[in-house]
């Protein structure tokens, strides 16, 4: 049986958890805190990040969420998470780039805020928040263009939705004071609708507590 190393808040891991569930691919969930010394990620991923998909031999590992999803689509194409047409496939990947990018920016800001006050860089944090805002603005425009469909692309769930809902669900948990729901009511409606889907409802993020000093 495959094992997926995941973390309770992880938007990157949630994309993979939803894809595996949608494709009906069984796996064991191994929940970790990747910053704690107890994590197993370095044994499988030289970049020491999760998610990591460990295959049946218990050794071969597929890592980096967008690559895991690419690998799943190539190896297990049924119940595809990609639209049929080439432009649709490329657009789904572009949405993932923007949503993962928003997470990357906010992860940087999150850790900056964990430094002692006198060590925090306000311009650095402002820069990360500004880039995340740009990504949210772009995603809101894409939701507006989806012509009332509950999905971002056509009338079917795709990688675009996995990335967008995972990012918004993480924002909701990790950045509760962020005003995205007010600024972009269309994003709130889109997110709430898809969060009801069983594969999202059963992979909701939750905060984690960390033991070790990180920054
Ligand atoms: N680009 C990576 C990002 C993964 C990532 O940053 N994972 C975090 C955990 S979480 O933010 O998703 O909860 C991690 O393992 N961080 C450990 C580290 O950065 O040392 C992916 O898409 O898989």
**Ligand 1 atom with minimal separation from the 13 CA:** 12
**Ligand 1 atom with minimal separation from the 64 CA:** 23
Convert the pLDDT of each residue in 106-163 to its tens digit: 999 999 999 999 999 999 999 999 999 999 999 999 999 998 899 999 999 999 999 9
Estimate to the nearest angstrom the gap between the alpha carbon of 95 and the chain centroid: 11
Convert the pLDDT of each residue in 22-36 to its tens digit: 999 999 999 999 999
Please work out whether the CB of residue 36 comes within 6 Å of at least one atom of ligand 1. Answer: no
Query: Considering the entire predicted model, what is its pTM?
Result: 0.97
Min mean pLDDT across 41-45, 49-53, 86-90, 206-210 is at: 206-210
Please work out whether the CB of residue 3 comes within 6 Å of at least one atom of ligand 1. Answer: no
Please work out whether the CB of residue 99 comes within 6 Å of at least one atom of ligand 1. Answer: no
Phi, psi of 30 (to 5 degrees): -115, 105
**Position 209 pLDDT exceeds 90:** no
Please work out whether the CB of residue 45 comes within 6 Å of at least one atom of ligand 1. Answer: no
Please work out whether the CB of residue 107 comes within 6 Å of at least one atom of ligand 1. Answer: yes
**Cα of 85 from ligand 1 centre, angstroms:** 30
ipTM confidence: 0.99
State how far the Cα of 41 lies from the Cα of 49, in Å rounded to an integer: 6
Q: Is the peptide bond before 118 cis (omega within 30 degrees of 0)?
A: no
**Position 73 pLDDT exceeds 90:** yes
Q: What is the pLDDT of residue 106?
A: 97
Instruction: Over range 8-29, report the average pLDDT.
Output: 98
8 Å CB contact between 17 and 4: yes
Phi, psi of 131 (to 5 degrees): -65, -40
Q: Which helix (H) or strand (E) holds 23?
A: none
Please work out whether the CB of residue 100 comes within 6 Å of at least one atom of ligand 1. Answer: yes
Instruction: Over range 69-88, report the average pLDDT.
Output: 97
**Cα of 208 from ligand 1 centre, angstroms:** 14
């Amino acid at each position: 049986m495959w094992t997926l190393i995941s973390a309770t808040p992880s938007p990157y891991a949630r994309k993979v958890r939803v894809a595996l569930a949608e494709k009906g691919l069984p796996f064991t969930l191994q929940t970790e805190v990747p910053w704690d010394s107890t994590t197993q990620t370095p044994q499988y991923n030289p970049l020491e990040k999760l998610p990591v998909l460990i295959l049946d031999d218990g050794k071969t590992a597929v890592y980096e969420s967008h690559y895991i999803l690419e690998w799943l689509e190539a190896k297990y194409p049924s119940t595809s998470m990609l639209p049929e047409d080439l432009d649709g496939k490329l657009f789904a990947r572009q949405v993932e780039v923007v949503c993962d990018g928003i997470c990357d920016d906010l992860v940087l800001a999150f850790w900056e805020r964990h430094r002692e006050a006198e060590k925090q860089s306000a311009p650095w944090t402002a820069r990360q928040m500004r880039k995340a805002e740009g990504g949210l603005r772009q995603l809101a425009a894409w939701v507006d263009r989806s012509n009332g469909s509950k999905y971002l692309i056509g009338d079917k769930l795709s990688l675009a939705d996995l990335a967008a809902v995972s990012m918004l669900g993480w924002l909701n948990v990790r950045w509760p004071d962020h005003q995205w729901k007010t600024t972009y009511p269309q994003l709130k409606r889109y997110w709430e609708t898809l969060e009801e889907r069983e594969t999202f409802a059963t992979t909701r993020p939750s905060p984690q507590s960390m033991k070790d000093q990180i920054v």
